Amino acid sequence: MGKIVLAAKVTHVPTMVMSEQDGPLKGARQAAIDGHAEIGRRAREAGADTFVILDTHWLVNAAYHINANHRFKGMFTSHEFPQFIKDLPYEYEGNAALGDLIAETARENGVYTLSHQVDSLDLEYGTLVPMRYMNRGPEPALKVVSVAAMCTVHSLEQSRKLGEAIREAIEKSDSNVALIASGSLSHQIWPNDIYAENNGTFTISSKFNEVVDRRVLEMWQNGETELFLQMLPDYAKYCDGEGDMHDTIMLFGALGWDRYTGTGEVITEYFPSSGTGQTNVVFSLD
Ligand SMILES: [Fe+2]
């Protein structure tokens, strides 16, 4: 019987990739990179064999979708930010059986979900950036399953149920899973015309958003799950949650929703990026 051995909400900002490279951003996101590496270390220590990533950069307009390819290999350039992430090589083994089981379980629970094995269905950077830092040598690599979490026409209720199905399927499988919600906290990117004058790469676009983000982090650290879930729809709406925060909804669905009694541990201190609020948080498990 498989289980969720680690659960986290994580950043995936492109400046992490640039932080590796020579130039004005070199080293700027080292804390976020170190946070990912620590989450990867903890996942391995907890016995994870697979990362399931809830990816707020995979946009879907009907149904829920899982990229359950047997293998992922390619060279990624971001369509959103080709100047930031380009020619990023990647290669991971997939876990097709788990992806298929999640979709099957979700459909049994009334959530129409499709699992795909299509060689040319590649990964988005909500998956690739965390995997670059969490899932790399010298340790043996973990398998990867990516779940679309930029859900444009999907209800909170259905995404919560998908999260529950993810947990149920993992427990029916023989996989130990690190479940990663890949998305920011508030996500109001600076308007293009005033980005530079506000030093946009390193600042938040709305103090209101920052105050709410910081309070959310306190809620997670204090285990105020019920209160957080009550405000989550408004938080996603008024603070421009990335992908409407369907990653976070799925994550809490998998954790047990309002029955979850654990707490969040901040692994990377809150930081602003391009107007948005970012962090890495690991959630305790029973
Ligand atoms: Fe993003």
Measured between alpha carbons, how far is 105 from 91 in angstroms, rounded to an integer? 28
pLDDT reported for residue 286: 78
Spans of the chain below 50 pLDDT: none
pLDDT reported for residue 137: 72
Q: 133: CA distance to ligand 1 center in Å?
A: 16
Q: 226: CA distance to ligand 1 center in Å?
A: 26
- Enter the pTM of the model: 0.98
Q: 221: CA distance to ligand 1 center in Å?
A: 23
Q: 242: CA distance to ligand 1 center in Å?
A: 7
User: 57 with 150: CB under 8 angstroms?
Assistant: yes
Q: 54: CA distance to ligand 1 center in Å?
A: 12
User: E strands along 28-70, which residues?
Assistant: 50-60, 64-67
Residue given tokens 């709410």 in the structure block: 212
Q: 129: CA distance to ligand 1 center in Å?
A: 10
Residue given tokens 């809830």 in the structure block: 54
pLDDT reported for residue 80: 92
Q: 180: CA distance to ligand 1 center in Å?
A: 14
Q: What is the per-residue pLDDT across 116-129, written as a single tens digit (0 to 9) for each?
A: 999 999 999 999 99
Domain 3-283 is found in CATH 3.40.830.10: yes
- 3-class DSSP state for residue 101? helix
pLDDT reported for residue 161: 98
Q: 229: CA distance to ligand 1 center in Å?
A: 22
Q: Quote the tokens at residue 4.
A: 């969720």
